[in-house]
Structure 1
Amino acid sequence: MSGLDPDELARLRVVLARITRGLDRYSRGSDLTRTQVSVLGTVVVRGPIGMGELATIEGLNPTMLSRLAGKLEVTGLLVRDADPADGRAVRVAATEAGAAEHRRQREERARLLAEHVDGLAEAEVDGLRGALPALETLAASLRDVR
């Protein structure tokens, strides 16, 4: 049993989704979907990465990821090539434009979040700061479920 009751769990889920949607709505500034933004970010952070590993990290089936990577390649944000360790496998890497787009979005989201956090009362900011370790652990736990 969790330390939160069902109503609190529902509130947590709803508030996290609202924060994510708010950041998406005001910071995407491009035609990328949330999934494309996530894939691009993973590729930028991890460097050249095999499609199989990327599919696992992102929780996507290989066919869907291949289509998505193709769209990102057409827009000039990713490149696909043969894995040097295994010529049969495909890996993807971010282009300079892809890395720049990832940076732009990360900076825009940070600016937007900071603007709204700065508008909170000091006690609320302290509450957010205190909740960060638990939220990071929760996020890692959910990531590991995949």
Structure 2
Amino acid sequence: MVSTEYDEDEVTRLKIALARIARLVDRQVSGDGMTRTQLSVLGTVARLGPLRLGALAETEGLNPTMLSRVVGKLEADGLLERSTDPGDRRAARVRVTEAGEQLHRRLRGERTRLFTGALARLPAPEAQALRSALPAIESLARESAQQSARPGPVTAGHGRP
């Protein structure tokens, strides 16, 4: 069995490092003034293709009201298009527009260049350590997303009860 006890300093260092990276990327790749949530929704729809709003809300971990506002803003900016789901006329779907796809590709390219440059400046052992850690980082991201989607309060340091 894997121990669930983690050194608080290491957890704090990981949290700070990930947050710092996210802030730096957000500052350097602005997304034309879009919020992080808007960028994430646009990226999800661009990657996964047309989605029902319910599936998008679940993927993004957003409540339907918040998602509706975000989609409305992206739609008003001509980046997403909302339509009735042909399989269920009561449900709505969203798809990325050509302008949204172009913006997504440009921002993804800028972020990729930013990370590629930073990785190239690392000493080889540290770069290899990051490659080796990718599966664990991806698992952490998945678990964090699943945890945030579960109902109930988060308890300090212990996830949800």
TM-score (norm 1): 0.94
Runs of 4+ in 1 over 6 A off after TM superposition: none
The share of aligned pairs that are identical, in percent, is 52
The one of the two structures with greater contact order (alpha-carbon pairs below 8 A, sep at least 6) is: 1
Task: Give me the CA root mean square deviation.
Answer: 1.2
* Deviations 1:68-113 (CA, angstroms, capped at 9, x unpaired): 1010011110000111111111110000111111111111001001
Instruction: State the secondary structure of the residue aligned to 2:93.
Output: strand
Distance 1:144 1:80 in 2: 26
Q: Which residue of 2 aligns with 1:98?
A: 100
Q: Which residue of 2 aligns with 1:15?
A: 17
Q: Which residue of 2 aligns with 1:80?
A: 82
Instruction: Count residues in correspondence.
Output: 146
TM-score (norm 2): 0.86
Q: Which residue of 1 aligns with 2:91?
A: 89
Q: Which residue of 2 aligns with 1:142?
A: 144
Cα deviation for residue 3 of structure 1 reads 5.6
Long gaps (5+) in structure 2: 150-161
Distance 2:6 2:112 in 1: 29
Q: Which residue of 2 aligns with 1:127?
A: 129
* Deviations 1:13-61 (CA, angstroms, capped at 9, x unpaired): 1100111111111012411110000000111111111111111111111
* Deviations 1:1-20 (CA, angstroms, capped at 9, x unpaired): 43631110011111001111
Counterpart residue identity of residue 14, structure 1: I
* Higher share in helix: 1
